[in-house]
Chain A
Amino acid sequence: MARAKSRDEEGVSGSSVSPRLTMPGPAFRPGDRPDFSEVDTFAPGACRRPQVNEPAESMSELATGLVRVLDDEGRASGPWDPHLDAPTLRAGLRAMMLTREFDRQMMIDQRQSKASFYMQCTGEEAIACAFHSALRPGDMNFPTYRQQGLLVAAGYPLELMMSQVYSNETDPLRGRQMPVFYSAREYGFFSISGNLATQFVQGVGWAMACALRGESSIAASWIGDGATSETDFFSALVMASTYRAPVILNVVNNQWAISTSESVARGLAPTFAARGRGFGIASLRVDGNDYLAVHGAAAWAAERARTNGGPTLIEWVTYRAAAHSSSDDPSGYRPGDEAAAWPFGDPIERLTRHLLRTGGANEADVEALREEVVRDVRAAQVEAQSHGTLKQGPAPSPREIFEDVFKEMPESLASQEREAGY
């Protein structure tokens, strides 16, 4: 996306044509002034919207384009505009604001040792929140650790998310999983692994099961730019392509895999979306900071999957505005003002601008929303903390260590539990 530097660009010395390796890296490092003026931002309306049943090869240009609806002034235009009504858009804005406020509070709590770890999705809220709004009950997401917006938008109780983060006595995962590795079947949210990319092919399997059972439910797999270099990414594309599974294969390109630039995983490919073309999979590249574009593209891919059109690979172009995790400090590897220079702005600000411009909301509405999400998060926090935090208050019993390894505990494990004496 941001044009990455590589040693290739430093010029070939003399007339030598002997092979030498490319070592991709980011366009900017600490101390550089981030300048994205060379990035092609594609105007809204620049990309056509094919019929959902068109063959993938007829739309190959979309893998290197960029689907956008909102321009910088908050105007919506072009064929991908989903024409959502004002209450729907306000609900979307609320979900994004709630996700961001939730993240903000959990990071503070992590710093106060109420949790061992935390991961924010700052700047990427539109992708999960708008995507959720394009799904139906019964569809299943196979998320990474940065799609908490799916749960928030689905109305999953915030206090249960917090209890999971705190590993307290009401933690639905009973203290077994690191913070943010939620699981919520009833909310269409598959258990998060932490081993990267494994879920990508599992989502294809779920989608295959839906189709084998003759249901119109679909699955959505999620992966980050960095993990697309894992084998399971390609296994998923192969399986989805072979069986034309009703699955949406989401690549969230937030430019950074911890400290490693997206160009390292992408290599010689022009975009991540272009990876899908060789598999005959419909492939879109979409402005992930544009709530309307995300909804429009997700709804298109979902309808394609539901009507036997097969899989769609979507690269969501965004920027990871916060650190990788609570254990990470990005100042060591990228300019501190890079997020501010990012040419696609902030998803919450962009949707707010659109609502204000179109009369879908006024300043007072937005301010009320801001206060409301702070109140909601605070109330959930009080409730969750009444059930304990990582090191204080009620906690799951250590007997939980031994449960759920198997449906029936084998004698070998039962004897270990007896020995532990919990």
Chain B
Amino acid sequence: MVQAIRDAHAVMMERDESVVVFGEDVGYFGGVFRCTQGLQQRFGENRCFDTPITESGIVGAAVGMAAYGLRPCVEIQFADYMYPAYDQIVSEAARLRYRSAGDFTAPLTIRMPVGGGIFGGQTHSQSPEALFTHVAGLTTVMPSNPYDAKGLLISAIEDDDPVIFLEPKRLYNGPFDGRHDTGLMPWSRHELSDVPEGYYHVPLGSAAIRRPGSDVTVIAYGTMVHVALAAVHDTGVDAEVIDLRTLIPLDLTTIIDSVSKTGRCIVVHEATLTSGFGAELTALVQQHAFYHLAAPIERVTGYDTPYPHSHEWSYFPGPERIAKALIRVMQA
């Protein structure tokens, strides 16, 4: 998936000279996760460069550049480091078109790795997507595989408004299904690792059904798509697994069509439970599919605690927890 993200950058930098890429360790070294490797060598220092460690400076400058007419695609090294930039994201990038009535806009992409699974403790594991989905004016994206990562990142860079692009870091090197004690499966053995060369895009606001099924709908995104599929496999429940791909705008039609068919619904995310994006999904499903529901909607999520370092795998909402929820919902 790292290669797909790198490729998306290169495709857009080639197509559009207003695309500039910067962030901490992003230039010469190519990023701590190597997602921008080779871009500076290929496109030069004026197109891809290192920044000082100042998230508010990175995003603040990107807002100014985007208003000018460039298309900055910046990296925040870990989503956990995003908070100094939050004012620039929420008060500035997200509102610039609105408050200036279109006089200025902010077509920028802010990439950041999210999620746990690398023993990163509370400062390298967070999933702050709900802090973005709650903000009017932001598009929030989280791919689950290399094909989507490239196609969605291209759409994000092409979008004329700010896009938060969340990359599940546990997926960088393989389709992690939550079984942390088995060997890492490389992307090369996954069907969605076949990434076409050159330009293509995956539209923002379009979910994908990863496994069709008739008995229960599982809504997930990012890493949890693979974990949910593993749980479905383990239980043998005929579940339909939806990969949201973009949280805002939300593909509500796919969700409601599915739940109307299955009559049951589980929402899965790695982020903490309370006021998480799952709460929004749950509210929408009950509003639009209440009379189809045969069981209460369940949420399987991270617990309402900071991400605990050595307890990582006791905390992570793995396939066993999802399996239990699947069985509960089917028995209801």
Contacts and interface: CB of A to CB of B under 8 A. Distances in A.
Interface in A199-245: 200-210, 212-213, 219, 231-232, 234-236, 238-239, 242
Contact of B64 (A185, A203, A405): A203
Contact of B70 (A142, A212, A238): A212
Contacts of A406: 97, 137, 139, 161
Nearest to A231: B56
A120 interface: no
Q: Interface range on chain A: under 10, 10 to 19, 20 to 34, or 35 or more?
A: 35 or more
A210 B20 CA distance: 13
B60 interface: yes
B64 A142 contact: yes
A411 B252 contact: yes
B296 interface: no
B54 A411 contact: no
B60 A198 contact: yes
A78 B20 CA distance: 44
B213 interface: no
B303 interface: no
Contact of A235 (B60, B69, B102): B60
B70 A209 contact: yes
Contacts, number: 137
A13 interface: no
Given A183-B103, A212-B70, A236 B57 contact: yes
B60 A202 contact: yes
Contacts of A173: 99-101
Nearest to B69: A209
A48 interface: no
Interface string B39-50: 000000010000
Contact of A407 (B57, B105, B250, B252): B105
Nearest to B92: A198
Interface string B139-176: 10000000000000000000011000000000000000
Interface residues of B, number: 43
B62 interface: yes
Q: Which residue, of B20, B69, B97, has the highest number of chain A Cβ atoms within 10 A?
A: B97
Given A177-B99, A191-B96, A410-B205, A201 B68 contact: no
A44 to B, nearest CB: 36
Interface of A: 140, 142, 172-174, 176-177, 181, 183-185, 190-191, 193, 195, 198, 200-210, 212-213, 219, 231-232, 234-236, 238-239, 242, 404-407, 410-412
20 contacts: A177-B99, A183-B99, A184-B103, A185-B103, A198-B88, A202-B61, A202-B67, A202-B92, A203-B64, A204-B60, A205-B64, A206-B67, A208-B64, A210-B68, A212-B20, A212-B70, A239-B57, A404-B98, A411-B249, A412-B248
Interface of B: 20, 46, 51-52, 54, 56-57, 60-70, 84, 87-88, 91-92, 96-105, 136-137, 139, 160-161, 205, 248-250, 252
Given A172-B103, A183-B101, 11 more contacts: A172-B101, A174-B101, A183-B99, A185-B104, A193-B91, A201-B60, A202-B64, A204-B60, A205-B61, A212-B65, A412-B248
Closest 6 CB pairs of A and B: A205-B64, A205-B61, A201-B60, A235-B57, A202-B64, A191-B100
